[in-house]
Amino acid sequence: MKRIWAALLLVFVLFSLTGCGTDPYEKQFQMPKKGDTIAVIHTNKGDITVRFFEEEAPKAVENFVTLSQQGYYDGVIFHRVIKDFMIQAGDPTGTGRGGESIYDGPFKNENVSYLSPYRGALCMANAGADGTNTSQFFIVTDKDTDVKRVETANKENDKSLHIDKRKIEQYRKHGGALWLDFEISKALNTAFGSTPAAHTVFGQVIDGMDVADAINQVEVYNEMEMKEANIDTPGQTDVLENKPKEDVVITSIEIKKYGE
């Protein structure tokens, strides 16, 4: 009898530790609960609604929510749009070189294995190194579902670099920027000694992905156009590589409670 009770207790503990049996790798695609904080990003192309991951990325969420409530993003453009990859905004200068956080300086990444740059992910943009997050953010529009390279890396790499099969399945199902995933980037770049990519995933689009896709398809300036513009006006910022030729503007960001 004691063995039976011990077994039942073990099952209960394991069940509790896994969040009542919920797979954490499913969290990113679950709808928020009533009363959860969400944001509606109003743009001149339409609205994009996102949910947040406060538990996993508290600083990034607080930063975005507070700046939004302060009107910091009002009138800010999407200054960087890379087709079939992402749309980026959050810099009041519109150049990609500006932006401030609410913490009197840049802040560090908040990465967890089960939140990834899948399609629709809301991520912090940074300067490449950890501790360089400010106000800039991007939404992933990548639809890539080809996980063959990752599966091959799992077979060839040391076990310490293995990617969880549940993560691989989410990329296969939803698509995303696999190479930007901080774990996958490390696994794929090991042989080249490159610095792994790392961007905090602090939210997910729950409505308006069609708007994000529409923004992702706007016409942008290319590198040659930027070089030619710099010949006439050195240091100009109107014509920048990957900057939309017609402004895509955030008119405001509304912070509200889901279902209320």
* Residue pLDDT, tens place only, 161-207: 999 999 999 999 999 999 999 999 988 875 455 667 789 999 999 99
Task: Give me the DSSP letters along 215-231.
Answer: HHTS-B--HHHHHHHHH
CB count in 10 Å sphere of residue 176: 25
Task: Report pLDDT for 254.
Answer: 98
Q: Number of helices and strands (H, E) in the chain?
A: 7, 9
Average pLDDT over residues 227-249: 95
| Percent of the chain clearing pLDDT 90 (strictly above) | 82
The model's confidence at residue 129, banded by pLDDT at 50, 70 and 90, is confident
Q: What is the pLDDT of residue 221?
A: 98
pLDDT at 14: 43
Q: Residue 13 pLDDT more than 60?
A: no
| Residue 24 scores a pLDDT above 90 | yes
Residue 211 has pLDDT above 60, yes or no: yes
What is the reported pLDDT for 96?
Answer: 96
Type of residue found at 67: L
Domains of the chain, residue spans:
1-25, 31-257
109 CB contacts (<8 Å, ≥6 apart)? 124, 126, 130, 131, 133, 182, 198, 199, 200
Q: In the prediction, which pLDDT does 11 show? A: 44
CA atoms of 192 and 190, how far apart (whole Å)? 5
Residues 106, 161 contacting (CB under 8 angstroms):
no
Is the pLDDT at 18 greater than 50, yes or no?
Answer: no
Is the predicted pLDDT of residue 143 greater than 90, yes or no?
A: yes
Q: Does domain 31-257 have CATH number 2.40.100.10?
A: yes
For residue 173, count other CB atoms closer than 10 A to its CB: 13
* Mean pLDDT (whole number) for 221-239: 94
Q: What's the pLDDT at 160?
A: 87
